[in-house]
Amino acid sequence: MGIPKKPAVLPQGDPIEAIAQEIVKADKGGRAYASHFRRLALIKDFASRAELVAWLAGLSDKDIDSLAKQLQKVEGRPRPHFTAAMKLARSLAQREAEEASMPAEFPEALRWAMSRAGMSVNKLAREVGLSESTIRGWLKGHKQPTSKERIERIEEALGLSPGALTSRVRRWEVKDTGVYKEGVTGRLAEIGSTFLRLAAQARYGKPVADLSPEERAALRGELLALWERRSERQIRTKIAREKPFSLPFDRWPDGVKEGWKKYEVWAGSERGSQKAVEASLKTGSVPRRRISQATLSMRRGEVERFLGYLVQERGFPLKDLSLDLLGDYDLVWGYLNWRWERFEGSGVAQVTTSDEKVLDAILHLIRKGFIKGDLERLKELRRVVGHHKVENPGYHNVEPLLEEENPLDWVRRGIAFMLEDLASMVGDLLNPSFEGIPGKEARREALALYRDALIWWAMSIHPLRARHWYGARINWEGLDRLDQRGNLYRDPEGRYHLLYRPEEFKNQHSAVFRHQGDKPLLFPLDEDLPPFEMEVGGVRYRLNSLVDTYLRVVHPLLAQVQGDRNILFPGLYSPKALHKMFKRRSPYVLALPGVPRGLRPFGPHSMRHIVATTAVKRTKSLEHAANLLLDSIQMVQHHYARFLPEDRYRASLVALHGRSK
């Protein structure tokens, strides 16, 4: 009798899979037990989690033995650990069933859990490292916890399920909205408050304080639901970070450091420089093209992780490390297996594009003669990994938006909402008044919002990479010259343009820039096209006019606070700062009435996805999207071909010959 084939992980939302994931977290050998527990799906089926929990909680040892025999008949062989897995699942279900009677309010729930565990205030305080007065204050309801991590320690000490107590705390440091603060990132408190304020205004036309309990609960539930969603990439990152293993560059032995620095000089020196010539003479080879610093940093990161694995997992002494170990097939194979085992039973793909990048970096170093290695076997491994890899489709922050017919329209509506909110603070956007805003922090926020609205508006037209926005500079003396070194240009008609040179693009050596030469690229901030004009509160504004006001009125005040008048966007000096700004302003889109559900706060790179997707959907052409992204059609095809019409031939036929009958 053939053994039925079942996936290692059942579909998301399956009741058995939900309990299997809890088994993974509950026991050191949880991944193995979860795998055995999933075989229950071969002999039983459940309509809901509640049905499964009630059934598990009522099982006797005799019932479990009987189930094991049924499974043996179906599979044709015994599965000894199935019984242990079922007993572990039963204990979890019994605990969940018992906790169903826990009081809804936090003080009463804590008292109930302490009584159930036979734990006094004194003993619990010692167990979790808190003061007795803190716990007594919680029990009396005089105080609310401000640390989610503390309550999680209490849950563990009292033998409760994760979330049993934390779900009963009304707030995490956000008194006016009742939004839980994210325990790890801490961003939910700030973004959540903004979302509720804007959603109350956009959907109900009144402040949060005037919402009914039902309206507030609906918005809060929407916020918390979208925050709990995770993409496959986010799940993988969380698992990978549970056990950091990199060996930082400053801990590398001197010989390994020197070898890597030699490679970086050879690969990253400017063409035409003395360093490039000397490095090529020393190595006996010439790089095909200069490798960007971003790529070199990425490759060094891969080496740091590999060396960290050798030290922490394989026990290599630091003195025995060398770059040549990267070319050892057995070590590389062991490293990849170790990487993959971390994701077993997690519901995410084990082999992904990231594994290709590891092998690509190693093969590159071998081919260029910087390390020795088994080239042919590693090439075969690269071929096999490339065949079996799984792309990270998962859930992405803006994926619900990309499924819309015109994703960019939602962003433009969000920008208009941002400008309306700004106008309510400063009045006329072309003659803004910041002095009337009460409080220094509120004035700073209004100045920052003016700056951020301009970036969003300009980026929705010109989807440049993040690096072109943070740290962009103004050359005040050369503002009217094309041969300046700044990133803002004013033409003779007074129209502004963003100005960048080919060397400021990471793909400067690609075919995209082959015919550009040394001429700068101009990105207009004024054009007779709809995207450059927007209506706000019945008034029509041009982007160019707002840029001019920004430079004359807003920028000097921002520069005074930030201390650098030559920065185009003071306060945004790094990728992290720009990313944080985008997350803070995302609620202006998330709060719009009718916005696709599941949309999450997103970063600047998502704007490129939104613009490119809209271009492909509206023009039915990959070339237009590639032109806007300043990237190759091959790259655009890889990411955005899924948005082309299903019948591409007919779409092109109609575009070429006119309207069909």
By the 10 Å C-beta count (0-12 exposed, 13-18 middle, 19+ buried), 315 is classed as exposed
Q: Is there a contact between 370 and 262 (Cβ–Cβ < 8 Å)?
A: yes
Q: Residue 427 CB: number of other CB atoms within 10 A?
A: 13
Which of the residue ranges 169-173, 279-283, 535-539 would you say has the lowest mean pLDDT? 169-173
Indicate the pTM of the whole model. 0.64
Which DSSP symbol is given to 202? I
Which DSSP symbol is given to 437? S
Q: Tell which residue, 82, 74, 70, 71, has the closest CA to residue 1.
A: 74
Residue 181 pLDDT: 38
pLDDT over 60 (residue 44): yes
Q: Tell which residue, 449, 421, 447, has the closest CA to residue 435.
A: 447
Tell me the two tokens of residue 488. 């803002």
CA atoms within 13 A on the CB side of 594: 5
Q: Is there a contact between 161 and 154 (Cβ–Cβ < 8 Å)?
A: no
Q: Tell which residue, 36, 15, 157, 156, has the closest CA to residue 93.
A: 15
In whole angstroms, give the CA distance from residue 348 to residue 346.
Answer: 6
pLDDT over 50 (residue 432): yes
Tell me the two tokens of residue 205. 């036309």
Residue extents of the structural domains in the chain? 15-99, 186-229, 241-388, 400-606, 608-657
Which comes out higher in pLDDT, residue 658 or 476?
Answer: 476
pLDDT over 70 (residue 454): yes
- Which secondary-structure segment (H or E) carries 83? helix 81-99
Summarised one tens digit per residue, pLDDT across range 112-126 is 888 888 889 999 988
Which DSSP symbol is given to 535? E
Mean pLDDT of 163-176: 60
pLDDT over 80 (residue 438): no
pLDDT over 70 (residue 588): yes
The dihedral over CA atoms of 58, 64, 65, 68, expressed in degrees to the nearest 10, equals 150
Range among 226-235, 592-601, 630-639 with highest mean pLDDT value: 592-601
Share of the chain above pLDDT 90, in %: 35
Continuous H helices in 100-147: 106-117, 121-128, 132-140
pLDDT over 70 (residue 174): no
At 372, phi and psi to the nearest 5? -100, 150
In whole angstroms, give the CA distance from residue 510 to residue 524.
Answer: 23
In whole angstroms, give the CA distance from residue 397 to residue 401.
Answer: 9
User: What amino acid occupies position 624?
Assistant: H
In whole angstroms, give the CA distance from residue 467 to residue 569.
Answer: 12
C-alpha torsion sign, points 523, 491, 476, 501: positive
Residue 176 pLDDT: 37
Mean pLDDT of 641-649: 80
In whole angstroms, give the CA distance from residue 547 to residue 526.
Answer: 10
Summarised one tens digit per residue, pLDDT across range 527-554 is 999 999 999 988 999 999 999 999 999 9
Continuous H helices in 394-524: 399-402, 407-426, 440-461
User: What amino acid occupies position 345?
Assistant: G
In whole angstroms, give the CA distance from residue 653 to residue 661.
Answer: 12
In whole angstroms, give the CA distance from residue 231 to residue 235.
Answer: 6
In whole angstroms, give the CA distance from residue 47 to residue 43.
Answer: 14
Q: Tell which residue, 413, 400, 331, 412, has the closest CA to residue 372.
A: 331
The full length of the chain comes to: 661
User: What amino acid occupies position 558?
Assistant: L
186 pLDDT band, cuts 50/70/90, is very low
C-alpha torsion sign, points 369, 371, 373, 376: negative
Q: Is there a contact between 456 and 585 (Cβ–Cβ < 8 Å)?
A: yes
Tell me the two tokens of residue 328. 């050892």
CA atoms within 13 A on the CB side of 61: 1
CA 308 to chain centre: 24
146 pLDDT band, cuts 50/70/90, is low
User: Mean pLDDT score of the chain, rounded to an integer?
Assistant: 85
Range among 235-239, 271-275, 583-587 with highest mean pLDDT value: 583-587
In whole angstroms, give the CA distance from residue 211 to residue 218.
Answer: 10
